[in-house]
Every structure is written in C-alpha cells, then in structure tokens.
Amino acid sequence: MKSVKTANARKIGNGLLIEVTLGTDGGDVSIAAILANDPAQGVKVIRHQEKIPLAVRLFGGEAVGKINEYATNIDSVLKNLLNARIDQNWEISSFNINPDALGVNFRRKD
C-alpha cells in the first residue's frame, strides 16, 4: 500500500461507516468497514468489505493479506491516525459511538 487517498466516515444506525481508498501500484483499493460499540472491547469492526483490483490480487503478493488486516483493524488505524493529529502530550484512550456523535476519550501520556 502506498497511501490513503480518501477517507470518509458517517453515522449509520448504531454504527459508524468508514470508507477508505488506498492507492497501490496495482490500482486503487476501496475498503468499507462498519464499526459498532462492543461492551467488552469498545468500538470494533463488525463488518468489512474490500474491493481489490485484479492486478493486486494476482501480483500483489502479501498486499491482499495486508489490505484484509487493515480492514479488520480499521478501528486501531483510525485511533492511530487521530493520535497523529493531536497534541503529542495526549493520546486517545478509547472512543465510542454515541447516538448523535463519535465520543473520544483522551489521556495524558506518562
């Protein structure tokens, strides 16, 4: 994977739909993942789908596995992307999906 070209999020029902387009050598890969609150683990991916170009499937080697792992763990990817954009003295400890917003909890780094 080379880069995140687009990333969008929107609330659907009790979940959050994350749509990402990744640029690769074999073409653009589209990922759609639905995140929902899990009482034991916080926000987790409950369903995901990838659209992977044939060139990536045929010649991408480990790329398909990495794309699937990215989609499966997009909740952690989202947390890491958000952490990279905030004051580095703080980090996101967790987030949850509220009826009308995405709730984010922060903690000061030690």
Tell me what pLDDT residue 2 has: 67
pTM (two decimals): 0.77
pLDDT digits (tens, 9 = 90+) for 40-98: 888 889 999 999 999 888 887 788 888 888 889 888 888 888 889 999 999 998 888 88
Q: Calculate mean pLDDT across residues 14-21.
A: 90
Tell me what pLDDT residue 17 has: 92
Tell me what pLDDT residue 6 has: 86
Kindly provide the b/e burial profile for residues 64-96, where b requires at least 16 CB atoms within 10 angstroms of the residue's own CB: eeebeebbbbbbebbbeeeeeeeeeeeebeebb
Tell me what pLDDT residue 39 has: 81
